[in-house]
């Protein structure tokens, strides 16, 4: 079983709370208040900036050129592609680039992103990638589940483009690639003795994802 799947199975209850959160169900039904989604989009912009730093840290933590190149691709994907897409998507929701630049990080954003960076700095590349995985892989799982669910509202759902983005072939390919990358890193660094600590990291990152969803609802 891939390491990611083992970690998810070891934390199934918290994983379900993340992937089936009230915020996610609101995306599915289209009933999520727009103010909550807009707040989430704004903080997600700041989140992406910190995740670019995390992938830069992955380059430093790498032990060979292949791992360094993988980290570089992560940095480039965020800075050269995802940031522009996110700014454009925010504009569709009435959020200007100037507004994004002036944002302050919410406590939930700080807590999550700094945890990921701390795990990467204190541990090795495997610790860092496990901390990153609930977000990167989880969004793909959520998008795919919502896209195939008969309960997902299609017509008139303002969030259908978000669902389609994470359910799409391009993002699903990224998810598959990250799972493979984690297994490749684990093949050199993983031991049975490390599983408990890695599972704890995974659980904490997933709980911080839950808090990131809840953050948007808390402003209402």
Catalytic positions are: 135, 209
- Cβ neighbours of 214 (radius 10 Å): 14
Contact status, residue 47 vs residue 112, Cβ threshold 8 Å? yes
Contact status, residue 116 vs residue 54, Cβ threshold 8 Å? yes
Euclidean distance between CA atoms 73 and 55, whole angstroms? 8
Euclidean distance between CA atoms 216 and 35, whole angstroms? 8
Radius of gyration of the chain (CA): 17
Whole-angstrom CA distances from 19 to 96, 197, 207, 210 are: 29, 22, 11, 8
Rounded to an integer, what is the distance from CA 190 to the centroid of its chain? 23
């Amino acid at each position: 079983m891939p390491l990611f799947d083992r970690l998810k199975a070891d934390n199934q209850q918290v994983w379900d709370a993340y992937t089936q959160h009230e915020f996610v169900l609101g995306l599915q039904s289209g009933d999520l208040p727009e103010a909550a989604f807009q707040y989430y989009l704004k903080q997600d912009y700041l989140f992406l900036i910190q995740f670019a730093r995390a992938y830069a840290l992955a380059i430093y933590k790498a032990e060979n050129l292949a791992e360094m190149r993988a980290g570089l691709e992560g940095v480039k994907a965020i800075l050269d592609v995802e940031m522009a897409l996110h700014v454009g998507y925010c504009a569709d929701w009435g959020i200007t680039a100037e507004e994004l630049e002036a944002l302050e990080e919410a406590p939930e954003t700080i807590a999550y992103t700094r945890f990921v960076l701390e795990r990467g700095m204190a541990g090795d590349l495997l610790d860092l990638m496990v901390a990153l995985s609930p977000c990167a892989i989880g969004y793909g799982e959520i998008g795919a589940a919502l896209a195939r669910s008969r309960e997902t509202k299609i017509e008139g759902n303002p969030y259908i483009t978000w669902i389609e983005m994470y359910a799409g072939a391009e993002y699903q390919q990224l998810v598959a690639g990250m799972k493979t990358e984690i297994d490749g890193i684990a093949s050199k660094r993983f031991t049975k003795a490390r599983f408990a600590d890695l599972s704890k990291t995974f659980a904490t990152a997933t709980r911080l994802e839950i808090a990131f969803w809840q953050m948007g609802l808390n402003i209402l």
